[in-house]
């Protein structure tokens, strides 16, 4: 399984603070049965620093040794001009491929998410909407529109521990709209990599999707 959303890269955002914490998180991922991890530090209009991220990633790979395979990507806070910045190489795609992990405000309705997804799609990218369960202003038709416009949805594993989010998660899974369940892990203690609740729920309610979401090939297509 590939964990497609993590803040394991250390000292660059609100995720792992030190190399030690990053290595703890890598170990934790291995315990969860994850074979591949995409490091997705935050990027945004005012937070580009692609060279620093590449440098830090190289340091992490060297220290982590073998075991879990590490890949570099980013979680990009959507902004007007994002497509141009991707074209310039200022923003990182997932493993250097066509997939782009993109997040939006979860407090204010600042963007029309299906329109933003469409803009990225027509530029040749495959936008993956990060922690899709958070956007209160996206109604059920909106979620379907994201997928119709060439986007994919990623939901957080921890969301399955919250009863009030179950209705939306059930709808998304029932409609086959969830492409990835990821940890969005930030630290080894509180916001760590923990797939237990998500696996239990999917196994009980949507067993036909278990292999696609947690099997050996789960998430691997995001690196293409």
- Applying CB under 5 A, which residues contact Fe ion? 75, 184
| Pairwise CA distance, residues 146 & 81, whole Å | 19
Of the candidates 175, 121, 177, the residue with the CA atom closest to the CA atom of residue 149: 121
Q: Of 130 and 168, which has the nearer Cβ to Fe ion?
A: 130
Taking the complex as a whole, the smallest distance from the CB of residue 53 to Fe ion amounts, in Å, to 14
Q: Of 14 and 140, which has the nearer Cβ to Fe ion?
A: 14
| Pairwise CA distance, residues 22 & 17, whole Å | 8
| Pairwise CA distance, residues 12 & 213, whole Å | 28
Taking the complex as a whole, the smallest distance from the CB of residue 76 to Fe ion amounts, in Å, to 10
Taking the complex as a whole, the smallest distance from the CB of residue 41 to Fe ion amounts, in Å, to 9
Q: Of 148 and 222, which has the nearer Cβ to Fe ion?
A: 222
Q: Of 144 and 165, which has the nearer Cβ to Fe ion?
A: 165
3-state secondary structure of 36: strand
Helices (H), 32-186: 50-64, 82-88, 113-122, 140-148, 166-174
Taking the complex as a whole, the smallest distance from the CB of residue 12 to Fe ion amounts, in Å, to 12
């Amino acid at each position: 399984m590939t964990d497609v959303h993590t803040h394991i890269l250390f000292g660059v955002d609100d995720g792992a603070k030190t190399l030690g914490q990053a290595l703890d998180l890598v170990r934790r991922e291995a315990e969860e049965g994850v074979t591949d991890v995409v490091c997705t530090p935050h990027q945004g209009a005012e937070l580009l620093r692609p060279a620093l991220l590449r440098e830090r990633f190289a340091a992490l790979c060297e220290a982590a040794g073998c075991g879990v395979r590490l890949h570099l990507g980013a979680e990009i806070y959507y902004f007007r001009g994002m497509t141009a910045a991707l074209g310039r190489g200022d923003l990182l795609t997932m493993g250097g491929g066509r997939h782009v992990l993109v997040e939006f405000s979860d407090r204010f309705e600042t963007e029309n998410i299906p329109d933003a997804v469409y803009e990225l799609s027509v530029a040749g990218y495959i936008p993956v909407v990060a922690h899709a369960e958070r956007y209160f202003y996206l109604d059920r038709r909106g979620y379907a529109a994201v997928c119709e416009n060439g986007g994919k949805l990623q939901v957080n594993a921890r969301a399955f521990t919250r009863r009030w989010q179950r209705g939306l998660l059930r709808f998304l899974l029932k409609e086959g709209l969830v492409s990835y369940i990821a940890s969005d892990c930030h630290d080894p203690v509180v916001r760590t990599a923990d797939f237990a609740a998500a696996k239990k729920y999917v196994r009980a309610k949507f067993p036909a999707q278990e292999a696609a979401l947690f099997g050996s090939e789960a998430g691997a297509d995001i690196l293409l």
